[in-house]
Structure 1
Amino acid sequence: MHPLPTAHETAHAQALLHYIDQSPSPWHAVDTTKTHLEAAGYLPLAERDLWKISPGARHYVIRGDSSIIAFRQGTLPPSEAGFRILGAHTDSPGLRIKPHGHLREGRLVRLGVEVYGGPILASFSDRDLSLAGRVSIKGERGIESRLVRFESPLLRLPNLAIHMNRSVNEEGLKFNKQTELPLILGQMLPEAPSQTLLYDLIAERLKVESSSILSLELNVHETQPGTLWGAHSEFLASRQIDNLSSCHAALSALLSGAESPMTQVIALFDHEEIGSESHQGAQGSFLSDVLSRLAGGDTENERRALARTLLVSADAAHAFHPSFSSAYEPLHHVQINEGPALKINANQRYAT
């Protein structure tokens, strides 16, 4: 019999669930991470400013509101001790609201969505969905960025009744992305304009005029909180485990770590699900820019530091599913609650 979860393990799992519940979008994930860092004494840095980093200093820097790098400077210069880096990503597969997404069918108003990354679209059906993300508004001092979140159910993707889709159990639940995937937002009187409904809801939440809203970047999220389940509460269920679980692990490791000769770094990137090829993505210059400055900006010292560096790329792995055993390598099963999984690829696409 597998040993029961310890009190420490249960507390850590609950902390992970709370972290995910507070992070329904990449922008919220960075904000949640920032809150934990500041509570532990980490101070913000801006890329446009001059950095003066002393040994043992604890700081964080944000790029694009959705990627964050935090570090504890080592007691030795990076050129002498190197970096210890843990990387993860703040985004998850899902749905994003189109900029002009209002669709009206009679009195029903729907919101058009774009597919972000590679989600299982059927998993959004008949769920309590809502919105969270970043809104740009016209403020007194120019364009301002605000976070917005609706905690209660706001949207739904109702499934088609079995009477009208008799083959669904044989052919699977499928949605046309353009015509069938838009989410129902609400019901309006025939004479009422539907194009401002979402803007009015956001304006009310942010306490601004709807006319001041310039753009929206909104993530569709499930409102049901994460939970522990199973005969002994040994399993965990939540949205966005890919990859907020690794973000939380990185943050927990940094905050619980002791002072070290090596400079400890966590790098949580946006846009991994769509290739990482952005200004704040992992293939952008964010991490290399930060490491260069921590190494002193000198090419020789930077190369010496990198030669002494270890970087772990942390992401979610697919645990063995007994109902679909044929999908797994027969001698390489990843077992739940048996520790971290080490993933390698012979074609050098990743080593996670």
Structure 2
Amino acid sequence: MNDAAHAHRAHADDLMSFLSASPSPYHAVANAAARLDRAGFRRLAETDGWDSGTGGRYVVRGGALIAWYVPEGATPATPFRIVGAHTDSPNLRVKPRPDTGAQGWRQIAVEIYGGTLLNTWLDRDLGLSGRLTLRDGTTRLVHVDRPLLRVPQLAIHLDRQANEGLKLNRQRHMTPVWGLGEPREGDLIRFVGEEAGVPGEEVAGWDLMVHSVEPPAYLGRDRELIAGPRMDNLLSVHAGVTALTAVAGQSAEVPYVPVLAAFDHEENGSQSDTGAQGPLLGDVLGRSVHARGGSYEDRMRAYAGTVCFSADTGHAVHPNYAERHDPDHHPMAGGGPILKVNVNQRYSTDGSGRAVFAAACERAGVPWQTFVSNNDVPCGTTIGPITAARHGITTVDIGVAILSMHSARELCGTADPALLTGCLTSFLGA
């Protein structure tokens, strides 16, 4: 194995650790914040006054995090370079009255979050994670990372047509089991309270979700692939944190104010106080300008020179369904980051953004690819168009090509996370 392959493998090892430790957006933010702390960044409260000094800072709001680094010599009008990503992934989330059951089985009522592939949650050992809010207003993270729940599939003997087209009812067929007997109201919350080290009666609210307890793993004879959960889009969050801390540690003067914006709720439209459609990013960038003595004019000048890379996963060509892809655009796992293009503004890339991305990859020595959808298969969207429209800043949609997007377990090339990080580091620091 050459030096580059060793570096790619080391980065992939770190990514898999991050994925395992981040089963919910709240855990992802906590783990990203811990990495920023180790790099010398300082957490700010939104309710406090902000100072004008240089160095790294970040704010946390629920499942979202905005971090930035003010280099020496930065003026109030210095443009930003932003890496945008999101912390949430499609999954099953616990309802307000979770304790349910039928026919002697104790079950947990769940709501479908985002556009998940429902069948990938069947017959899988599931844990439970998220955030508890206590009566005093404080919050506590909980991470039950052992087999606790399971959504059992109906045996083929009772549905002989299952292999001809599985049809799952989201309300009736996706309720996990977690024991035997009659459901007892309050059982689940008492249990998770104990797991978090607090009495169940102290829990006033919760934001809980299930996750597969199977850890990420290398796949293939030569370990060329990584299989794991929540790559969409914690792969990009991890890459963004790694790139930002690397740029903050550079000895050379950085010509921009580099930023990481990790939003929540992308998978259901970004319309929340922690989503890309909310005011969080604009408020933080504006306060950063004003803390450095800037005016409205300075903020507008800074925005005018700002570029954002909206980093999210995209579709690698599927070997069993190649006809679903554009015949002239076949991104491959292991081929480096992808530039995502859609002229109908499902992605925000244009020609000038393409030039910025290509230059960043060239400086980093990173190969890259282009993704565009088959005209008969409409594509999804990202935070990119939202960010561009809301803040009036040049935005480019990029990412890593994966298979099984929105599955409970996705697949990417082992080298690609490190290659994306190289591109982002070059972009933030150039």
TM-score (norm 2): 0.77
State the Cα distance separating 1:16 from its structure 2 match.
0.7
Alpha-carbon separation, structure 1, partners of 2:276 and 2:77: 25
5+ residue gaps, structure 2, are 349-396, 398-430
Alpha-carbon separation, structure 2, partners of 1:339 and 1:6: 13
- Residue equivalent to 1:182: 175
State the Cα distance separating 1:78 from its structure 2 match.
4.8
What letter matches 2:276 in structure 1? A
- Residue equivalent to 1:105: 102
- Residue equivalent to 1:15: 14
Q: Does 1:255 align with 2:245?
A: yes
Alpha-carbon separation, structure 2, partners of 1:234 and 1:166: 37
Structure 2 matches for 1:81-96, cutoff 5 A?
81-96=78-93
SS in 1 for 2:7: helix
Asked if the contact 1:78–1:305 (Cα under 8 Å) also holds between the matched residues in 2, the reply is no
Structure 2 matches for 1:317-328, cutoff 5 A?
317-328=314-325
Asked if the contact 2:98–2:188 (Cα under 8 Å) also holds between the matched residues in 1, the reply is no
Asked if the contact 1:134–1:217 (Cα under 8 Å) also holds between the matched residues in 2, the reply is yes
Alpha-carbon separation, structure 1, partners of 2:202 and 2:174: 29
- Residue equivalent to 1:58: 56
Asked if the contact 1:78–1:294 (Cα under 8 Å) also holds between the matched residues in 2, the reply is no
Structure 2 matches for 1:233-244, cutoff 5 A?
233-244=223-234
In structure 2, the CA distance between the partners of 1:125 and 1:78, relative to structure 1 (3 Å rule), is farther
Q: Does 1:275 align with 2:269?
A: yes
Of residues 269-278 and 341-350 in structure 1, the stretch that sits farther from structure 2 once superposed is: 341-350
Alpha-carbon separation, structure 2, partners of 1:294 and 1:320: 41
Structure 1 segments of 4+ aligned residues over 4 angstroms from their partners: none
In structure 2, the CA distance between the partners of 1:84 and 1:97, relative to structure 1 (3 Å rule), is same
- Residue equivalent to 1:27: 26
Structure 2 matches for 1:20-169, cutoff 5 A?
20-55=19-54, 57-63=55-61, 65-138=62-135, 142-169=136-163
State the Cα distance separating 1:75 from its structure 2 match.
2.3
Structure 2 matches for 1:295-314, cutoff 5 A?
295-296=289-290, 298-314=295-311
In structure 2, the CA distance between the partners of 1:114 and 1:211, relative to structure 1 (3 Å rule), is same
Alpha-carbon separation, structure 2, partners of 1:204 and 1:194: 16
- Residue equivalent to 1:204: 194
Q: Does 1:339 align with 2:332?
A: no
SS in 2 for 1:208: coil
In structure 2, the CA distance between the partners of 1:94 and 1:132, relative to structure 1 (3 Å rule), is same
State the Cα distance separating 1:308 from its structure 2 match.
1.4
Q: After superposition, what is the alpha-carbon deviation per residue over 1:146-182, rounded to whole angstroms, capped at 9, x for unaligned?
A: 11110101100111111011111111x3321111111
Q: After superposition, what is the alpha-carbon deviation per residue over 1:35-86, rounded to whole angstroms, capped at 9, x for unaligned?
A: 111111111101111100313x1111011x2100111112233544311110
SS in 2 for 1:163: helix
Alpha-carbon separation, structure 2, partners of 1:5 and 1:237: 21
State the Cα distance separating 1:338 from its structure 2 match.
0.6
Asked if the contact 1:76–1:262 (Cα under 8 Å) also holds between the matched residues in 2, the reply is no
Alpha-carbon separation, structure 2, partners of 1:22 and 1:124: 20
What letter matches 2:46 in structure 1? E
Alpha-carbon separation, structure 2, partners of 1:4 and 1:263: 31
Alpha-carbon separation, structure 1, partners of 2:60 and 2:3: 39
SS in 2 for 1:175: coil
For these two proteins, the number of residue pairs brought into alignment is 342
5+ residue gaps, structure 1, are none
Alpha-carbon separation, structure 2, partners of 1:175 and 1:103: 19
In structure 2, the CA distance between the partners of 1:80 and 1:298, relative to structure 1 (3 Å rule), is closer
Q: After superposition, what is the alpha-carbon deviation per residue over 1:207-260, rounded to whole angstroms, capped at 9, x for unaligned?
A: 222222112211110001101111210101101010000001101101111251
State the Cα distance separating 1:293 from its structure 2 match.
1.3
Alpha-carbon separation, structure 1, partners of 2:222 and 2:43: 41
Q: Does 1:215 align with 2:205?
A: yes
What letter matches 1:182 in structure 2? T
Alpha-carbon separation, structure 1, partners of 2:131 and 2:324: 38
State the Cα distance separating 1:331 from its structure 2 match.
0.5
Alpha-carbon separation, structure 1, partners of 2:320 and 2:66: 39
SS in 2 for 1:75: coil
State the Cα distance separating 1:144 from its structure 2 match.
1.7
Alpha-carbon separation, structure 1, partners of 2:44 and 2:273: 18
SS in 1 for 2:243: helix
State the Cα distance separating 1:97 from its structure 2 match.
0.7
Alpha-carbon separation, structure 2, partners of 1:200 and 1:285: 36
State the Cα distance separating 1:19 from its structure 2 match.
0.6
SS in 2 for 1:153: strand
TM-score (norm 1): 0.93
In structure 2, the CA distance between the partners of 1:332 and 1:241, relative to structure 1 (3 Å rule), is same
Asked if the contact 2:77–2:299 (Cα under 8 Å) also holds between the matched residues in 1, the reply is no
SS in 1 for 2:120: helix
Alpha-carbon separation, structure 2, partners of 1:149 and 1:131: 6
Alpha-carbon separation, structure 1, partners of 2:76 and 2:149: 52
